[in-house]
Amino acid sequence: MKFEDILKIIEIFEKSNLTELEIKIDEPKFKIKLSKNNQIQNQVIQIPQIPQIQNFQPIQKEEVIKEVKEEKKENIHIIKSPLVGTFYRAPSPGAEPFVKEGDFVKKGQVLCIIEAMKVMNEIESDVDGIVERILVENGKPVEYGQELFIIRLSS
């Protein structure tokens, strides 16, 4: 959901007679809860018509890749998962991630770990460049060939 859309929702809520409003969207996970005061009144509230947000659709991974490729039409490299397993950004819970978006990475540098059958497999960069996007959330399952990272190659 775009920041402008959230501001519109807040503006409409502030102008309404509502004291509380909660919006949940499952894909992608999004939740907003607004409250004008902490006391809930026992009254019937007529909910005003809220204008629909124009053209709202969740961003899909393919759209992110296409967007990055359009922004930087050249020098883009995609790191894909070499196996099925669970994606981890850090060597252990609570540790700093191996890389963050915007980090410069060298060929052979560890980007993440994929756990498969209780074996931790380090996934290394096969190019030098800058981590443009990380396409998988920490702790989520990945499939063989799934895109993990978008790297902008260094000149």
What digits encode the pLDDT tens for the residues 88-131?
999 988 899 999 999 999 999 999 999 999 899 999 999 999 99
- Those residues with Cβ within 8 angstroms of residue 126's Cβ, 6 or more apart along the chain or in another chain: 77, 79, 107
Question: What is the average per-residue pLDDT within 4-18?
Answer: 79
DSSP-based three-state secondary structure for 20? strand
Task: Please report the domains of the chain, with CATH numbers, ordered by start residue.
Answer: 1-56 (no CATH), 61-153 (2.40.50.100)
56 pLDDT above the threshold of 60: no
Which range has the worst mean pLDDT, 28-42, 66-80, 102-116?
28-42
Average pLDDT over residues 41-46: 52
Q: Looking at per-residue confidence, does 4 or 48 come out higher?
A: 4
CB atoms within 10 A of CB 23: 14
The pLDDT of residue 155 is 65
**How high is the pLDDT of residue 83?**
94
In the 8-state DSSP scheme, what is residue 47? P
Handedness of CA 21, 59, 143, 87 (dihedral sign): negative
% of the chain beyond a pLDDT of 90: 46
Task: Determine the pLDDT at residue 40.
Answer: 47
Higher pLDDT, 17 or 65: 17
Task: Indicate if the alpha-carbon torsion angle 57, 135, 94, 86 is positive or negative.
Answer: positive
- CA angle centred on 89, ends 70 and 103, rounded to 5°: 50
pLDDT for 60:
60
